[in-house]
Amino acid sequence: MGDFPAEPYRIKSVEAIKLITREEREKSIREAKYNIFKVKAEDIYLDFLTDSGTSAMSDNQWAGIMTGDESYAGCRNYFHFEETVKSITGFKQIIPVHQGRAGEHLLFSSILKPGDKVPSNTHFDTTHANIQFQGAEPVDILIEEGLHSEGQYPFKGNVDLNKLEAFIKKVGPEKIPIGMITVTNNSGGGQPVSLENIKQVSKLYHKYGIPFFIDACRYAENCYFIKMREEGQGDRSVKEIAREMFSYADGCTMSAKKDGLANIGGFIGLNDEAWHKKITTKLILIEGFRTYGGLAGRDLEAIARGLLEALDEDYLAHRIGQIKSFGELLASVGVPIVQPTGGHAVFVDAGAFLPDIPRKDFPGWGLTVALYREGGIRAVEIGTVMFGAKDEKGNDIFPPMELVRLAVPRRVYTESHFKYVAKVFSRIAENKKSVRGLKITYQPELLRHFTSEFKEI
């Protein structure tokens, strides 16, 4: 593994994991209809399905859990949570929600109407679907560099400003009740967005009177990249950079399951009082009272503490170094990955790795099945199953890249786990014919990757 700072923590508690036999794995994936989401977590050895809600909490967070005030209204942990989030984001209103997508739903159902458009660098799948659910259209306007897995451009998550302005002029600002940006750009490879780009995007939206929101799930990792890669930012603290970043926005949606280092939770931050009122009414209807929003008091405490731990720069140096080193390890055994590695995951270019499987047969999905079969590893396809569509004539529309994401839970796996993954990949690389394409036998209308069923070709 490459040279990066060792863990700035030590292990106080462990959880057993087990590699079941090949025959058992074969049975398990068959019974799951070749959908890795349907495999029991106990049958997984190393789980890189997501970095969301899978963090190891610290002793400090667990201690905070014991101080949970479970009063229905006005619990003390809410005020600690609110004060912490305000100190990081500067937003006037902080609305707790049980996770990021609940915030998305509350926000979009309060402000969007059918026919509206919502641009971003790249919307994450739940954001995309929540916009569509309101009859509106999510629109991704990423710079060209971000659409290619090769190339070392430092901020591949940036928005293409010219295209964004052309888009606003074309559809008209009255059709765009909100403009967004995702940091880091999860669906585009976990790539960061530069502070300058965020500032310019904000200026552009505001020039046309469009409110600007940040999807902030991985904002701390994004701000660490800004510190390391952006000119003039190296001497600032990550917290200072974060504060400036949020100052350009009118609000944010946040899943605390990522850079909140919590197992559940999220929030909406915003400044607009009319939107706040609308959202709060709905919050009470579906999530809970204003001071707990679908969470227990103890969860709010774990988030408040986790948010600060995720801004610790020794932690971030280890975290980002670990991901980079994991990517180098995979590249060293001949696996093409999205370059440079992003903040929370290594994205394998499955299209390039498996050129013999046509995209209509889902090479990325095939690779997730192969990783499980070969090594009990769970990864997620971010390709045609997740983002593919059909045009009016029934022809396939493929997303720009066919990726498989190995998302790394925070503070969970060690170097030897990553070496094991590389070994499994090199076995697959030696026998690519063992990876099979698939056909869908069942799919729902929205978010099909979660529940689709397949058969192997």
Please report, as ranges, the residues that interact with ligand F0G according to CB under 6 A: 50, 52, 99-101, 124, 126-127, 182, 186, 215, 217, 255, 257, 266, 407
Nearer to ligand F0G (CB atom), residue 157 or residue 340: 157
CA separation for the pair 428, 98 (Å, rounded): 39
Nearer to ligand F0G (CB atom), residue 292 or residue 437: 292
State the nearest-atom distance from the C-beta of 23 to ligand F0G, in Å.
30
State the nearest-atom distance from the C-beta of 254 to ligand F0G, in Å.
8
State the nearest-atom distance from the C-beta of 50 to ligand F0G, in Å.
3
Nearer to ligand F0G (CB atom), residue 407 or residue 421: 407
CA separation for the pair 370, 22 (Å, rounded): 11
- Residue 448, both tokens: 């099909």
Nearer to ligand F0G (CB atom), residue 110 or residue 186: 186
Nearer to ligand F0G (CB atom), residue 80 or residue 101: 101
- Residue type, position 452, single letter: S
CA separation for the pair 348, 78 (Å, rounded): 40
**Measured at CB, which residue is nearest to ligand F0G?**
100
State the nearest-atom distance from the C-beta of 299 to ligand F0G, in Å.
12
Nearer to ligand F0G (CB atom), residue 101 or residue 318: 101
Nearer to ligand F0G (CB atom), residue 257 or residue 298: 257
- Residue at token pair 């999220």: 266
State the nearest-atom distance from the C-beta of 452 to ligand F0G, in Å.
17
Taking alpha carbons only, the member of 349, 337, 267 closest to residue 300 is 267
State the nearest-atom distance from the C-beta of 54 to ligand F0G, in Å.
9
Helix axes 238-247, 219-229, angle to 10 degrees: 110
CA separation for the pair 95, 337 (Å, rounded): 37
State the nearest-atom distance from the C-beta of 431 to ligand F0G, in Å.
29
Nearer to ligand F0G (CB atom), residue 219 or residue 353: 219
Q: What is the CA radius of gyration of the chain?
A: 21
- Residue type, position 48, single letter: F
Backbone phi, psi, residue 54, to 5°:
-105, 5
CA separation for the pair 425, 26 (Å, rounded): 18
Handedness of CA 228, 230, 231, 232 (dihedral sign): negative
CA distances 412 to 65, 346, 354, 408, Å, are 19, 16, 30, 8
Q: Contact, 393 vs 58, CB < 8 A?
A: no
CA separation for the pair 67, 63 (Å, rounded): 7
State the nearest-atom distance from the C-beta of 12 to ligand F0G, in Å.
26
